[in-house]
Chains A and B, each alone.
Chain A
């Protein structure tokens, strides 16, 4: 049996690789070749990709970068990455994992893709996901479910399951995911990688296929907080093509990672550690808090009593916005007809249409928007009592394939810890913090004030300096 090799180039951090490129220890071509080999060996079992960019194109791009040289270039120059298939890429098939777009060739590029192209990162493929972002397991896809690299009988999480699984299996160095209610954090936790849901408006959404426009965020997924910092400073910033993107200055996140965190106060919301949370996950997070305390972090118990309304608020506003966003798919200008939506997507469109319809608007949509205001106040209050809120990402370890998709209500409840941040807009960093006895990854999330990504990345970085959970990788056999 041949396991995923121990010392792979793709195990290294982005800054280590950039240094090795400059010192000519190995080339971008070497790294891309290794990723392509891993894709060939492991993707058939994992199904992380929907579209793979032609090998020859990718390799010639890598050779071109090597020829150009790395002096004075971005750390991402020559680094292979993937995009969730929710970003439009000119001339490259873009599906949002739905048969509605199975033959769609976009005529323009998403801003995040443009920025990464300009910086010299190399796109390897477009990744599997829950169609339109509708799901937390990457089973609601018309391209077969994504399998978790840590246990192929289980889901990778969702909706950005393909990107997370590809990083875990070393098929790429990083990915761009999209988080509307946990879609970056949930698969990050279940695949043992690091993922950042950014503050609403931090990264341009232009060219990101919309799920729920007032919740959607574009963010990095990688092995570590350090890598996420490097990616974020590249992709963040105002974009005239996205009126909701922020004009706030983009900090040099990677430069201040090593700032001591000894005066940071971490709040643990008691409601998030009660019934419904898996015992092993609870234990792992408590152990992580003890580790953080050794770095001088203070922890305190706080209260977020509205958590029980998180699911109703999210599953009223999200579907309402998606029913409107998906109204454009009529099969006339592009795409197939509406009968190609999956059952899960049709349910979300239907719930949203109901909540917005005459006679129910006040009781559901308007009521949820009022509750959204209360959520914002609640998070504001909590984040005045502490710098960072620490909480679980998922209530359970990764589920068996088939478990969630066949139970529409359970499928929604799996997002319980991640849906309340998006209506508020606050950022959240998901990082690995251990494994269950049976070897399944466990993650935790650090939530901060609006635009406090820098603080979250510092805490995540400090934690990852004294723990190696994020460096663990799955045992895969070709």
Chain B
């Protein structure tokens, strides 16, 4: 599948996307990501040639809509506090410890 090469994605765009994706890429990773990202983007950009005028989007193929359940507590699916915390590295008094979002 050959596609015309479109412009290389700039490293500032790559940095921005990495930030949105919450990926902390090193300078080296950013450097190697740029050409790889561009070649994959070229591959998928072929879709622009497809005529989709008046075509609606499909987001799922279950054939179902509005699947509800009763708003009831399912005791079989409740974890104890101890179980819920069992895989956490950093906990304090039965809580998960997370980084502060706001500065004092």
Contact = CB atoms under 8 A, between A and B. Distances in A.
B98 A332 contact: yes
A374 B52 contact: yes
B14 A350 contact: yes
A29 B24 CA distance: 50
Interface stretch (A70-78, A100-108, A222-230, A383-391): A100-108
Nearest to B46: A312
A308 B14 contact: no
B19 to A, nearest CB: 9
A369 B58 contact: yes
A246 B62 contact: yes
A258 to B, nearest CB: 30
B21 A309 contact: no
Contacts of A439: none
Q: Is the interface of B mostly helix, strand, loop or mixed?
A: loop
B94 interface: no
B100 interface: no
Interface string B2-37: 000000000001100110111111000100110011
A367 B48 contact: yes
Interface centre among B24, B39, B44, B83 (most CB of A within 10 A): B44
B101 interface: no
A373 B56 contact: yes
Q: Is the interface of A mostly helix, strand, loop or mixed?
A: helix
Contact of A312 (B21, B44, B52): B44
Contact of B20 (A312, A346, A353, A367): A353
A368 B49 CA distance: 11
Contact of A105 (B41, B58, B86): B86
B50 A244 contact: no
A468 interface: no
A107 B43 contact: no
Contacts of B21: 323, 327, 349-350, 353
A16 interface: no
A201 B54 CA distance: 28
Interface in A371-387: 371-374, 376
Contact of B69 (A240, A350, A368): A240
Contacts of A412: 40, 43
A418 to B, nearest CB: 15
Interface stretch (A4-12, A188-196, A283-291, A334-342): A334-342
A338 B24 contact: yes
A341 B23 CA distance: 9
Interface string A328-371: 00111111001101010011011101110100000110111111
A370 B36 contact: no
B43 A373 contact: no
Interface of A: 103-105, 107-108, 200-201, 214, 240-241, 243-244, 246, 308-309, 311-313, 315-316, 323, 327, 330-335, 338-339, 341, 343, 346-347, 349-351, 353-355, 357, 363-364, 366-374, 376, 408-409, 412-413, 423-425, 450
12 contacts: A105-B86, A107-B87, A243-B67, A244-B64, A313-B47, A315-B44, A339-B23, A343-B29, A368-B44, A371-B47, A372-B57, A373-B55
Q: Which 8 pairs between the two chains have the least Cβ-Cβ distance?
A: A334-B87, A425-B61, A369-B57, A370-B52, A312-B47, A243-B67, A353-B21, A312-B44
